[in-house]
Amino acid sequence: MERRKFIGNVAKSSALAVFLGNIPVKLLAIDHKAIKAVMEGNSDRILILIQLHGGNDGLNTVLPINQYSSYYNLRPNIAIPDHGSRKFITLDSTLADNQLVGIHPDMTAFKDLYDQGRSTVIQNVGYENMNLSHFRGRDIMFMGGGSTDNFNSGWMGRYLDNAYPGYPENYPSNAMPDPLGLEIGSSFSLAFHRANGIPAGFNIESPQRFYELISGVGVAPPITFPDSHAGDELRYLMEFEKQSNAYAGRLKDAYNAGHNTAGINYPTTYPLNADPGVIHNPLSDQLQLIARLISGGLKTRIYLCRIGGFDTHARQVENYNTTMGSHAALLYHLSSAMKAFQDDLAGQSLEDRVISMTFTEFGRRVNSNASYGTDHGKSFPMLMFGSALNGGVIGNNANLNDLDDGNLKLQIDYRQVYTTLLSDWFGVSNDTLNAIYFGPWENQKLDLVETSLSLSNTSPKNISIEELYPNPVRDMAYLVVKISSPAPVNMKIYDTTGRFMLEKNLGRSIDGYIKAELQVGSLEPGIYQCFISDGKTNVVKRFYKQ
């Protein structure tokens, strides 16, 4: 029997989870070199992964405005219209023609976040020779490999195993009392498997069941374990059980200590027409729980949650209105829940610590089918969320007249995204990237994280942008720059095309800070980049002009 199946079967009778807010939470007590890798960077930073289960149709999520006629002709029975009250939303009119995209009309919340510099689109993501099987496709995305790789570990498991050695003997500890990863729900994914094949998490339902199992057997755990594969697995299970009570207690303590921002309402239902099975928003409860755990002081570094229903072979849209239906409801759930989540975090001054991102096992074909749906395809867009992001659109619109056997051509390997986040967000070294099998991508990172917040360059910077507020701004913005040693500081503002707009000499600091007022009332509404330089180091922060 495969080790993963063995562990999964045994774990179903084990007690290694808790229910918080009626949501089953799997404990992923992940090993302790993320103290090395997270300590290489910033141990307060959090990454949240949102799986769009089933294969999301990226072309009705992010559509190419500059090729609308081709888009419509390739999928006339499901195409989002370019006119009327339910036309596509132009995401950013300042983008170049080959990046000008529309988003689904039910993604107004995503548009709001984008306009505030709190979301990013990455176009045409995938890997060479994408596998169109749900199971194999998911495993590849979880393992962090290519089409021919067969790793028995996941990229998150390898990262955390490399970063936190010594589990379970040394944990929980005073320095790290919490599990480093939490998977919300009851699925058991490859993502958190470690390189030795023994997973860092289990597919379980209730912490009480383990104790009931031990009581039912009526024997104490063995003092020694057989020198065999089964003995290794049994040792791991027994050692993990010793940690489960402490982790369950910590989760409950954090849940009880935390709260959600007053006045933030997580959406529960899709307000328009769709199949009954997709009307309820399954993501809101998960994100609301995560926000509360972060608020309660939980130090968990990686969260994994999911929303299903994206395998839209049929009835992706309503036959009488292509802007409604199952896919519309799912995109509404995603964007509206993420807007509530980001506002919840912002209301507690926690937003700068968290980056969230979506992924899926594959995209859908460019041509629609006769059942008002789409079949398994290849490249897909990733959506990212967080105030620490640069914002904008990364990658160009795919050429709809130059397809890969009916699919959007690959532009960005998904491992470039993971490598960028591990390096620039968690601050891991190139040695660690090599250990995670991401070494080939260390020189192909993307411009995702704000320069002033990136941890990939460990050399100290003389300047940093501490605050730029309000954001969005109408007429007057206020800037606070921290500077380690006195130097003349200059500010320049550019639009998203790189066009120079404004300049101001901020002078020198004598107390470590420079405070300045910025008159931006003359700027047109849109996203701008504020560059600060001391002549040696440049830092940048995006802001939105209303």
**Within 13 Å and on the Cβ side, how many CA atoms surround 228?**
4
Q: How far apart are CA 80 and CA 322, in angstroms?
A: 6
Domain count, the chain: 2
Q: Which range among 239-253, 439-453, 527-541 shows the weakest confidence by mean pLDDT?
A: 239-253
Q: pLDDT of 66-121, one tens digit each?
A: 999 999 999 999 999 999 999 999 999 999 999 999 999 999 999 999 999 999 99
The pLDDT-based confidence of 373 (bands split at 50, 70, 90) is very high
Does 427 lie in the same domain as 516?
A: no
Does 147 lie in the same domain as 47?
A: yes
Q: Could you tell me the two tokens for 423?
A: 């390096």
Does 498 lie in the same domain as 364?
A: no
CA distances from 422 to 437, 438, 458 (A): 12, 10, 14
In a domain, 230, yes or no: yes
In a domain, 331, yes or no: yes
Note the pLDDT of residue 99. 95
Q: How far apart are CA 184 and CA 21, in angstroms?
A: 11
Note the pLDDT of residue 243. 54
Q: Could you tell me the two tokens for 167?
A: 């589990």
Q: How far apart are CA 190 and CA 201, in angstroms?
A: 9
Q: How far apart are CA 267 and CA 341, in angstroms?
A: 10
In a domain, 458, yes or no: no
Distance of CA 9 to the CA centre of its chain: 29
Note the pLDDT of residue 508. 80
Query: Helix (H, G, I), strand (E, B), or coil: what is residue 20?
Result: strand
Buried b (16+ CB within 10 A) or exposed e, 268-281: eebebebeeebbeb
Does 484 lie in the same domain as 436?
A: no
Other Cβ atoms within 10 Å of 186 Cβ, number: 14
Does 231 lie in the same domain as 113?
A: yes
pLDDT exceeds cutoff 60 at 455: yes
Q: Which range among 118-122, 156-160, 284-288, 349-353 shows the weakest confidence by mean pLDDT?
A: 156-160
Note the pLDDT of residue 93. 92
Note the pLDDT of residue 496. 58
Q: Which range among 21-30, 334-343, 352-361, 362-371 shows the weakest confidence by mean pLDDT?
A: 21-30
Q: pLDDT of 231-281, one tens digit each?
A: 666 665 555 555 566 677 777 888 889 999 999 999 999 999 999 999 999
Backbone phi, psi, residue 455, to 5°: -105, 10
Q: How far apart are CA 122 and CA 337, in angstroms?
A: 20
Does 473 lie in the same domain as 431?
A: no
Note the pLDDT of residue 33. 38
Q: pLDDT of 7-34, one tens digit each?
A: 444 444 344 455 666 666 655 544 333 3
Which residue among 419, 453, 487 closes a domain? Answer: 453
Which residue among 403, 426, 453 closes a domain? Answer: 453
Q: For residue 189, give its domain range.
A: 3-453
Burial class (CB in 10 A: 0-12, 13-18, 19+), 226: exposed
Note the pLDDT of residue 127. 97
Does 501 lie in the same domain as 418?
A: no
Contact at 8 Å (CB) between 527 and 391? yes
Q: How far apart are CA 313 and CA 381, in angstroms?
A: 19
Mean pLDDT of 299-327: 95
Provide the residue type at 19 as one letter: F
Note the pLDDT of residue 246. 62
What residues have CB less than 8 Å from 223, skipping those under 6 apart? Answer: none
Does 305 lie in the same domain as 244?
A: yes
3-state secondary structure 136-167: HHHHHHHHCCCCCCCCCCCHHHHHHHHHECCC
Does 318 lie in the same domain as 373?
A: yes
Q: pLDDT of 171-212, one tens digit each?
A: 676 767 777 778 887 666 888 777 765 555 443 332 233 233
